[in-house]
Amino acid sequence: MAKTTEVWIVEGMEGITRRQQMGRLAEWKKLFLAEAGASAVNIWEGGYGEYNGAWLYAVEFESAEAFGKSQDRFLANSKSFDDAMDVWQKTPMLKFRGGGLIHHVEI
C-alpha cells in the first residue's frame, strides 16, 4: 500500500531560541498525532537553531486517502486547529520556507 508524507521546511524566527522552536515543533507533533490522523511525525534539524538553522518536519500518513481525510478535518475548522492556530499566530516561532508531498509506492 502507498504511504504519503507531508514535508515542511521551516526556520526559526529571529530572536527565538532553539529550545522555543523545539517546543513549538513538539506541539505540532502532538496535534498531528492526536487530531489529524498521522501515523508518525519525524523532525530533523538542518542546522543549529541559534544560527539560522532549519527544521525538516515530516508528517506520515498510511495512505493518500488518510492524508486527504486529514486535510478535510483541517479545512472543516475544528476547534482544536482553530485554538492551535490562534496561539501560533499570537506567538510566532517558526516560518515556513517550503514543502510538499511524497507518495511512497511499493512496486
Among residues 67, 86, 88, 64, the alpha carbon closest in space to that of 77 is found at 86
Reported confidence tier of residue 48, pLDDT bands at 50, 70, 90:
low
Region for residue 70 given its phi and psi (left: phi exceeds 0; alpha: psi -120 to 50; beta: otherwise): alpha
Whether this prediction's pTM lies above 0.75 is answered by yes
- Summarised one tens digit per residue, pLDDT across range 66-97 is 888 888 877 776 666 677 777 777 778 888 88
- Domains annotated on the chain, with CATH: 3-104 (3.30.70.100)
Q: How far is CA 14 from the centre of its chain?
A: 20
Residue 50 has pLDDT above 60, yes or no: no
Reported confidence tier of residue 2, pLDDT bands at 50, 70, 90:
confident
Q: Which residues contact 97 (CB under 8 A, 6 or more apart)?
A: 9, 10, 11, 54
- Summarised one tens digit per residue, pLDDT across range 19-44 is 888 898 998 898 888 878 889 999 99
| Residue 87 grid cell | 496561539
